[in-house]
Amino acid sequence: MIVSRNWIERYVGLDGIEDSAVEHALTMVGFEVEGVTRKGLPPLDNIVVGEVVSHDKHPNADRLSVCQVRVDDGNPRTIVCGAKNFADGDHVIVALPGAVLPGDFEIKVSKLRGVESQGMMCSERELGLGDDHAGIAVLADRPEIGTPVNEVFDAGDTLFDIEITPNRPDALSQTGIARELAAWFKRDLVYPDIRVNLLAGPGGHLIESVVSETEENCPHYRGYAIRGVKIGPSPRWLKTALESIGLRPVNNVVDATNFVLHELGQPLHAFDVRKIRGGRIIVRQARKGECITTLDEKKRTLDPGMMVIADAERSLVVAGVMGSVDAEVDDTTTDIFLESAYFNPSSVRRTARTLGLSTDSSYRFERGVDPRGAEFAALRCIDLIVELAGGEALGPPLVAGEPPFTEREIDLSTDWVRGCLGFDISDEDMAAHLASLELDVRETTDDNDRPLLRVGIPTFRLDLYRPIDLVEEILRLHGTDKVPPAEVRTHGLLAEDDPLVVFNRRVASLLIGRGYQEVAHYSLRDGVELKKWYGHCAEDSLALTNPLASDASHLRPSLIPGLLDCFAFNQARLNPLAPVFETGRVFREYDGKVFEMLSIAFALPREGAGGWLRREPVDFHAVARVAQDIFQQAGVSVDPARFEPVSGDSIWQEGHAARFGGFKMGFEAAFGVLSLNMTSQWDLRTPVCAGAVYFTPEYLKREPRRRRYQPFSAFPPATRDLALVVPVGTSAGHVRTELQRVARQAAKSTGIEVESVDVFDVYQGKGIPADAKSLAFSIVFRSAGRTLTDKEVNPVFDAIQAKIIEGTGYAVRK
């Protein structure tokens, strides 16, 4: 909202208070100042009215003239001037040496092309008066020579653009802000005088009746009759006031209603009585399909959720929002019906929102006008109309309903206030602060004889209901800058960070330590992309109701597309690709329900790093390692034998990717080489190795288990190598699991432990059938109590070899 300093000074004297102090005051009472604009002429010294006595061409410059200008009774001064828009005898504005023009431009005696100039004739722009810079300002009304420029032009104005929080509808007017400044500066606030005495009028009405058929939405409606007005332009002062806050003057009657709206915050509406059909004003809900052409010349279809002001035949105004062309005051209007009402905020809000139409009026009704403010505003407006347009108010208004009852008192313990604030403010200061806001403060005591302020809340303060609300009022006016500094009071609460957060930190440091750069992408993705790559998600379950853009219409089920975006972006910028990771929330569907999960995804270009030295390409096993390490941070032990190869998947390249876990376990992962279709869709020149790991929050929050120490043997191991020739499609994990099982069984009850079974070589080629491969395992035996001898180990190893061949079709490679 724009606040005009000139306007508010009608109600509160701000003499001696600089604009910057007003700005500070507004800020400190809670109205953020978004801009300060100075309009018109600032106070200027050494700038006076002068008369051009004569002018000649400059001897050395075609475009300049050398003028003789009289500014006092003495000799004319020589002034060099570039403008051409004046004649001898014109009165102009002369800045004398020593003057400082807006923009800190100081005028000095100086030589221009060899001719000494003893001042400057000014344009409007140079004075800060306007934008006219076509020539110097020529004063048509010829003020007396030597008159200081500030006496020639109106004083300027300062406009403060302020933000008013939704809890303060009482501040949505010039008097509302004046009230706050009066309270801050502890100055008097003067409301406009009411001159009209309706009881002294001739009496009678211009229409027959006013009815509210929708009392909940319009509890209170007043209609005043003014007869015999003459529509015409508003006087200068009124136009200036309206223009200062960005309004366009229309005519004296409309301007008067607008002025009062912005003066007091109460919207008013003036009807041309001739246009009210049937002599009745009815406040009702609109009929289905009813149409109205609002003053912005748009035809609008109404619905029964909207309230209108109607006559006997048709609706004339969308209540509280905007009038229609049908009841508009025009140049020929003579009789006025003036509406001043209290409308239910949510009704107006709903209507304005449905119509997509926000006006100064709807904005105030939506937030809540003073329920008892209608009468005062109407009287003020009648005074202005009679003053500006003549005519007379007939008498007391037609009234429907009553203002809602909002009077209340709050008992405030001053000790309690100090307890909330944590520092001292005296009872007297508290009372003074509240009283300065026009709250009705009485000092009393409670049952324990402790001081109490009994505070009556004026009807315009819709935000004050509870003692805590008054604490804010006291603090605002005391000054939040006076909260004294203090030590941090702290004691431990003996709690630990959320396990998700702890886990996230650990994973991030793991990956950063491995050379991965963390990246961050938006959580919203394109629905088309989702369908293409994550088609298994039901199309709608991740959709937003109200996306802003089609490329941000769905929740992300995976971080992988973001990582590809990152590679594509950096590739386009010719930045060498490097390993990246992201952690964040993703949304995945299982059995028809969406689960919010924590995901960690990482990716790196398959081509190894390089530069002057090429590195080996990265493969599946490298990313499988990273995935395993991430799981380890979550306390999940990973046996690669349980990895399942991925096939027939849109995201992962068949034969080069695996899955692990499952939603029911609380975690899952896929990793390997990304489908080449996918990487080429992103125009990436290199295949990408990646992994995506998912955890349910519930899994990460499970109770941590402390591990028990396992004793380990002090004796050396005995190792036996065993190469098995197996069908080429058999997975090493499967064979290893089987071999381990067989080995443990064979060693059982021998006192020998099979410590580990590990693959150490995979071979295909010479000496092996084409449809087979050789897997070489090393089996480590150990005993807790002694050094093993061949005599002990060999029979076990022989048993293992015999057993593993049995029934599997594997052969031992000699």
> Within positions 560 to 589, which residues make up the interface with other proteins, using CB under 8 A?
565-566, 569-570, 573, 575-576, 578-580, 584-585, 587
Per-residue x/- track, 69-98, other proteins (CB under 8 A): ------------------------------
Q: Which residues of 312-344 are buried (b: 16+ CB within 10 A; e: fewer)?
A: eeebbbbbbbbbbebbbbeeebbbbbbbbbbbb
Closest C-alpha to 476, from 9, 11, 21, 26: 26
**Footprint of other proteins on 681-740 (CB under 8 A):** 696-698
How far, rounded to the nearest angstrom, does the alpha carbon of residue 442 sit from its chain's CA centroid? Answer: 41
Q: Closer to other proteins by CB, 348 or 378: give it.
A: 348
Closest C-alpha to 792, from 758, 756, 759, 754: 754
Minimum separation from the CB atom of position 303 to other proteins (A): 17
Minimum separation from the CB atom of position 440 to other proteins (A): 21
Q: Closer to other proteins by CB, 243 or 427: give it.
A: 427
Going from the C-alpha of 612 to that of each of 310, 609, 615, 697, the distances in angstroms are: 84, 10, 10, 45
Minimum separation from the CB atom of position 364 to other proteins (A): 15
Going from the C-alpha of 478 to that of each of 32, 170, 185, 302, 428, the distances in angstroms are: 17, 20, 11, 48, 12
Q: Which span (15-23, 56-64, 193-201, 505-513) binds other proteins, by CB under 8 A?
A: 505-513
Q: Rounded to 5 degrees, what are φ and ψ at 411? A: -90, 130
Q: Which span (452-460, 500-508, 679-687, 780-788) binds other proteins, by CB under 8 A?
A: 500-508
**Among residues 17, 36, 435, 508, the one that binds other proteins under rule CB under 8 A:** 508
Minimum separation from the CB atom of position 510 to other proteins (A): 10
Cα Rg of the chain (Å, integer):
43
Minimum separation from the CB atom of position 435 to other proteins (A): 18
Q: Closer to other proteins by CB, 603 or 747: give it.
A: 603
Give CA–CA dist 538/785, Å, rounded: 60
Does 622 sit near other proteins (CB under 8 A)?
Answer: no
Closest C-alpha to 563, from 646, 678, 695, 657: 678
Q: Which residues of 706-740 are buried (b: 16+ CB within 10 A; e: fewer)?
A: eeeeeeeeeeebbebebbbbbeeebebeebbebbb
Q: Which span (245-253, 272-280, 452-460, 609-617) binds other proteins, by CB under 8 A?
A: 609-617
Instruction: Quickly list DSSP for 107-162.
Output: ---EEETTEEE-SEE--HHHHTS-S--SS--B-TT-PPTT-BHHHHS-B-EEEEEE
**Among residues 332, 490, 647, 710, the one that binds other proteins under rule CB under 8 A:** 490
Q: Rounded to 5 degrees, what are φ and ψ at 420? A: -70, -40
- Can you list the pairs that 255-259 forms with residues at least 24 positions away whose Cβ atoms lie under 8 Å? 255/388, 256/381, 256/384, 256/385, 256/388, 256/389, 257/338, 257/381, 258/360, 259/384
**Footprint of other proteins on 430-489 (CB under 8 A):** 466, 468-469, 471-472, 475-476, 480-481, 483-489
Does 15 sit near other proteins (CB under 8 A)?
Answer: no
Minimum separation from the CB atom of position 612 to other proteins (A): 6
Minimum separation from the CB atom of position 360 to other proteins (A): 17
Does 611 sit near other proteins (CB under 8 A)?
Answer: yes
The region that residue 204 occupies, defined by phi over 0 for left and psi between -120 and 50 for alpha, beta otherwise, is left
- Joined together, the tokens standing for residue 726 give 């197996």
Does 202 sit near other proteins (CB under 8 A)?
Answer: no
Per-residue x/- track, 140-179, other proteins (CB under 8 A): -------------------------xxxx-----------
Does 426 sit near other proteins (CB under 8 A)?
Answer: no
Please give the DSSP secondary-structure letter assigned to residue 546. S
Does 18 sit near other proteins (CB under 8 A)?
Answer: no
- Joined together, the tokens standing for residue 73 give 């009774």
- Nearby residues of 406 by Cβ (< 8 Å), 6 or more positions away: 371, 372, 459, 462
**Among residues 61, 138, 500, 622, the one that binds other proteins under rule CB under 8 A:** 500
- Nearby residues of 743 by Cβ (< 8 Å), 6 or more positions away: 754, 757, 779, 796, 800
Does 592 sit near other proteins (CB under 8 A)?
Answer: yes
The count of chain residues that interact with other proteins, using the rule CB under 8 A, is 102
**Among residues 105, 237, 405, 423, the one that binds other proteins under rule CB under 8 A:** 423
Does 28 sit near other proteins (CB under 8 A)?
Answer: yes
Per-residue x/- track, 331-360, other proteins (CB under 8 A): ---------------x--xx--x-------
E strand or H helix at 506: helix 499-513
Minimum separation from the CB atom of position 456 to other proteins (A): 20
Does 780 sit near other proteins (CB under 8 A)?
Answer: no
**Footprint of other proteins on 513-532 (CB under 8 A):** 513-524
Minimum separation from the CB atom of position 661 to other proteins (A): 17
Please give the DSSP secondary-structure letter assigned to residue 766. T
Minimum separation from the CB atom of position 558 to other proteins (A): 15
Minimum separation from the CB atom of position 454 to other proteins (A): 20
Residues 248, 254, 258: CA angle, nearest 5 degrees: 65
Are the beta carbons of 598 and 585 closer than 8 angstroms?
yes
- Nearby residues of 572 by Cβ (< 8 Å), 6 or more positions away: none
Does 555 sit near other proteins (CB under 8 A)?
Answer: yes
Does 492 sit near other proteins (CB under 8 A)?
Answer: yes
**Among residues 116, 313, 596, 761, the one that binds other proteins under rule CB under 8 A:** 596
Q: Closer to other proteins by CB, 197 or 480: give it.
A: 480
Does 420 sit near other proteins (CB under 8 A)?
Answer: yes
